[in-house]
Copies of this chain bind each other. A is one copy, B any other.
Amino acid sequence: MPNSKPPRIEAVEAQRPGTVPNLFADLPSRSTDEVVTGLLSAPGLRIERIVSTGQASPPGFWYDQDRPEWVMVVAGAAVLRFDDEAAPQRMVAGDYLLIAAHRRHRVEWTDPAVATIWLAVHFDPSVTPP
């Protein structure tokens, strides 16, 4: 459906002039849950910081997401498992991968000793340039 309104692009953490937000700032202290912070929100795109401090997916739980996700471990370490692969995938700082929509996966482990910081880019595969 045509839409004449300008698209909404939102830097979720407001950028004051002269300041730059930092991925390593305001890290949550050890938490029961992973902490997700939106960094950018735009039509068909969302960039998030996810901070894990030892959490893993609950036993038997699999993520099955409608949208593809490009994810990078920026700090820390994690073990990711895909339902369609025999061996789990250990990830360290700088490791990145694309998780296709509906590719079932789970986080088996994150390092309990440090904050594992993920950068996650969720995007809509069905958007097409005009």
At the interface, yes or no: A98 with Cβ under 8 Å from chain B? yes
Q: How far is the CA of A100 from the CA of B8 in the complex (A)?
A: 12
Interface of A is mostly: loop
Known: A9-B68, A124-B129. A87 touches B18 (CB 8 A): yes
At the interface, yes or no: A113 with Cβ under 8 Å from chain B? no
Interface string of A6-45 (1 = CB under 8 A from B): 1101010001011011111100000000000001101111
**Residue numbers in B under 8 Å from A74 (CB-CB):** 74, 94
**Residue numbers in B under 8 Å from A62 (CB-CB):** none
Q: Is the beta-carbon distance between B125 and A130 smaller than 8 angstroms?
A: no
> Which A residues contact B (CB, under 8 angstroms)?
3, 6-7, 9, 11, 15, 17-18, 20-25, 39-40, 42-45, 47, 68, 70, 72, 74, 85, 87, 89, 91-98, 100, 119, 121, 123-130
